[in-house]
Structure 1
């Protein structure tokens, strides 16, 4: 049993065909087929049923593949550790964080890294909507802190770092705040919805929680959005941690809007699998991993 054979198995399951797996591994299809046949001969059972056009895992193959996935994940982790140990200190680490997330969960980690590696310039940028993912996929960020919406899971590693709650709100003097109960979409279309423009471009723009047919104002960030809403000029979703004071003193009032529930989104530290990992980035990731493990 070899690592190449396990990688071939993983590629076939991920792509759906032997041909696509061969393209992904940059090998001849015959070579991939030969690796799987050798592995099946060693194991003593078939991994794939080949009756249909697309190969499908047998019941034994499904069990074996689950263990294979765990092994390959451990191998990737070992490679990252090895790369970090042999690499030099990076001159710069670029981190892009979703604007919905408080910096608090990662500040302790970054503070320790800054003291340990003072020669590394840590650059932290706040991005709106799909902005963090756009920066990561363009190679402009080494690490992002964001939700998993739209993230190509097979191409990244992710660690949970926290949860963001976004709640629809309006000023206490806003017409929709004057009576309790659920507000229908039709009613809310008569009011201005305040939204934040994304920084990731059209490909990574997010359109969740947009009320179709209603008037909108677009602002550049959540602080501006909160100010517009507090002024009674519209309604919209705001991260709960950014408006704790306003919710407690009644300046802002939660709204119960049809189709717009309070949203709880898990936030992850995310990095690409195909990017080299240096000494400082390895330490950041290890610290975030330890932090995540201790909180669960």
Structure 2
């Protein structure tokens, strides 16, 4: 590589602190071993042959790979986690990416992050079963299957419908108005079908995805409660508007918990996530 960069064996020798003859002999022996001529020696300055160009690219790749291997091994010595599994309520996914992933990547480039999503008690189930190390859980009450949790904030939910839905055309929508229209209810993906919202309408469809729910709502097939962070971010560009509710049914919020599996020992990267997620606010 030094010979290719400098254009002569003499200059390469000076860069490497070796005699010109030693560099020349080393290159000749390498060419014999590879069965290919690496340099065109017919001119004043050395130039790589086509074979030499191709093998130089391969050599640079090997060197970069070796450096990555060394850096990763050093990160292990510094007690950095090799792998962290985190599960997020689907409603928080966009905000989590925005607030935490970029600084995490810069500080812990060799830690593999496995990000899973769930809804309501799915999140607690993943952590309790050892399928995730940390979780951000939206729940109607205190986590039942874990001892390690911290209340962070409260997530407001807001009723919304398509721009052309009858409920968005009216001011001061009442309980009776909600009962007359189909409600799309987002539930967890487990068998229990957990949900955090009140069932106002007898005409209900259940669905286990906010994205799928938004598609139905946008097409005017019903109205639904959405977490406020989702309405502000992921759904902001969709044709969905908040419903103007009467005062007595306007407030609805669910607690947000940081939960963890205590059986999993966290290294520097995991402790960084635990510390920073512990300050999460909506």
Which residue of the other structure, out of 156, 169, 185, is the alignment partner of 2:148? Answer: 156
Q: Distance in 1 between matches of 2:250 and 2:228?
A: 13
Is 1:174–2:138 an aligned residue pair? Answer: no
Which residue of structure 2 aligns with residue 190 of structure 1? 180
1:154, CA displacement in angstroms? 7.0
Task: Name the CA shift for 1:106/1:270 in 2 (closer, same or farther; >3 Å).
Answer: farther
Is 1:280–2:269 an aligned residue pair? Answer: yes
Task: Name the CA shift for 1:143/1:248 in 2 (closer, same or farther; >3 Å).
Answer: closer
Q: Which has the larger radius of gyration?
A: 2
Q: Distance in 1 between matches of 2:185 and 2:106?
A: 38
How far does the alpha carbon of each residue in 1:77-106 deviate from its partner, in whole angstroms, 9 at most, with x for none?
A: xxxxxxxx9994333111100112254356
Which residue of the other structure, out of 175, 196, 220, is the alignment partner of 1:232? Answer: 220
Pairwise CA RMSD of aligned residues? 3.6
Which residue of structure 2 aligns with residue 261 of structure 1? 250
Q: Distance in 1 between matches of 2:258 and 2:94?
A: 12
SS in structure 2 opposite 1:189? Answer: helix
TM-score (norm 2): 0.59
**Aligned runs of 1:240-259 on 2, under 5 Å?**
240-244=228-232, 251-256=240-245
Which residue of the other structure, out of 120, 125, 136, is the alignment partner of 2:111? Answer: 120
Which residue of structure 2 aligns with residue 82 of structure 1? none
For structure 1, the 5+ residue unaligned runs are 1-84
SS in structure 1 opposite 2:226? Answer: strand
Is 1:99–2:87 an aligned residue pair? Answer: no
Which residue of structure 2 aligns with residue 110 of structure 1? 101
SS in structure 2 opposite 1:90? Answer: coil
How many residue pairs get aligned? The number is 205
1:259, CA displacement in angstroms? 7.4
SS in structure 1 opposite 2:265? Answer: coil
Does the aligned pair in 2 maintain the 1:114–1:122 contact within 8 Å? no
Does the aligned pair in 2 maintain the 1:194–1:216 contact within 8 Å? yes
Is 1:141–2:132 an aligned residue pair? Answer: yes
Which residue of structure 2 aligns with residue 12 of structure 1? none
Does the aligned pair in 2 maintain the 1:209–1:260 contact within 8 Å? no
How far does the alpha carbon of each residue in 1:191-246 deviate from its partner, in whole angstroms, 9 at most, with x for none?
A: 211122312442xx423324266111223321221221121110110123333487
SS in structure 1 opposite 2:180? Answer: coil
Q: Distance in 1 between matches of 2:118 and 2:214?
A: 17
Q: Distance in 2 between matches of 1:155 and 1:279?
A: 22
